[in-house]
């Protein structure tokens, strides 16, 4: 099984950090982890300044990354992956990463 990281960089809508954090921790992460191949998630807050306040790193294990992406996207915005307007969707960025070398 191949391993990947999905890195999501996000911001809360103005003045809604608490609501955003509760949704992310209680709703979004469990919804993503329900997708076959999603193994774990770890959430961070920036230590200083930057364009994104929050980062989540998901561990993904799959032999078919395109099928994983398709399943993830098919769930987004449905009752299987509820979204919130407490997230500033205009600044969200996400990418899949694969290891070059393990140390």
pLDDT at res. 36: 98
The total number of structural domains in the chain stands at 1
Beta strands in the chain (DSSP E): 2-10, 38-45, 54-62, 93-97
Residue 87 inside a domain? The answer is: yes
**Residues 58-63, mean pLDDT to the nearest whole number:** 98
pLDDT at res. 101: 82
pTM: 0.94
Residue 103 inside a domain? The answer is: no
Residue 16 inside a domain? The answer is: yes
CATH of the domain at 56: 3.30.70.100
- Rg of the chain over CA atoms, in angstroms? 14
Residue 7 inside a domain? The answer is: yes
Collapsing DSSP to helix, strand or coil, 64 comes out as: coil
Collapsing DSSP to helix, strand or coil, 62 comes out as: strand
Residue 12 inside a domain? The answer is: yes
Question: Quick one: pLDDT band at residue 70, thresholds 50, 70, 90?
Answer: very high
pLDDT at res. 43: 98
């Amino acid at each position: 099984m191949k391993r990947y990281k999905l890195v999501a960089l996000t911001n809360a809508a103005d003045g809604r950090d608490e609501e955003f954090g509760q949704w992310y921790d209680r709703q979004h992460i469990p919804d993503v982890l329900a997708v076959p191949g999603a193994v774990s998630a770890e959430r961070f807050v920036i230590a200083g300044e930057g364009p994104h306040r929050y980062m989540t790193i998901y561990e993904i294990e799959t032999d078919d990354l395109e099928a994983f992406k398709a399943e993830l996207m098919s769930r987004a915005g449905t009752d299987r992956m509820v979204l919130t307007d407490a997230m500033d969707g205009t600044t969200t960025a996400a990418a899949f990463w694969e290891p070059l070398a393990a140390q």
